[in-house]
Amino acid sequence: MMIRIVGLALPALLLGAACSSSGGYSCSDEDAPRYVLHVGGSHVVGTTQWSVKLDSVVSDSRCPLGVLCIQAGEALLAMELTNPAADPGPPDNPHFTLGTTQVTVDGFRFFQIDIQPIRQQNQTIDPSVYVATLRVGLPCLE
């Protein structure tokens, strides 16, 4: 019985240590790396072979600057997570939508930090000029 507990605890400790020291990741979401993505742009996540891409902004209901709104609204981003070297392969559906709520895909935790440009009253934003700042973290055992 004692061997079984040690056998389960040791891999958990090693996984926690590996997660906090490999690829620049920390188990704390506040320390997760930030990435700035333009529409159509992608970025390799840390030292992994995974890439995150901002395909488009699906919708933007953020409250315009200088307007009193009941709700802040949000911008919904169409994202893609890929890894050509993944074994057994990339996720079944690498596409996901990211709003103001954290999304976890294939172990990566995605957080929307900022969307530019800021909405202006009575102005339409060209969909190709959006820039998103994201935080991307990995789940770790502590």
Q: Give this prediction's pTM.
A: 0.73
What pLDDT band is residue 48 in, cutting at 50, 70 and 90? confident
- Among residues 88, 81, 95, which one has the least CA distance to residue 51? 81
Q: How far is CA 99 from the centre of its chain?
A: 10
Percent of the residues in the chain that have a pLDDT greater than 90, as a whole number: 46
- Among residues 120, 117, 119, 115, which one has the least CA distance to residue 133? 115
Query: Rounded CA gap, 110 and 29, in Å?
Result: 10
Residue 26 has pLDDT above 60, yes or no: no
pLDDT (average), residues 112-136:
93
State the greatest distance between any 2 C-alpha atoms of the chain, in Å, as a whole number. Answer: 69
Lowest-pLDDT range, 17-26, 27-36, 81-90?
17-26
Query: Rounded CA gap, 75 and 80, in Å?
Result: 16
Per-residue pLDDT tens over the stretch 107-123: 889 999 999 999 998 88
pLDDT of residue 11: 35
Query: Rounded CA gap, 89 and 49, in Å?
Result: 12
pLDDT of residue 19: 44
Percent of the residues in the chain that have a pLDDT greater than 70, as a whole number: 70
Per-residue pLDDT tens over the stretch 60-81: 999 999 899 999 899 999 999 9
Provide CB contacts within 8 A for 18, sequence distance 6+.
Answer: none
User: Is the CB of residue 86 less than 8 Å from the CB of residue 49?
Assistant: yes
pLDDT of residue 142: 47
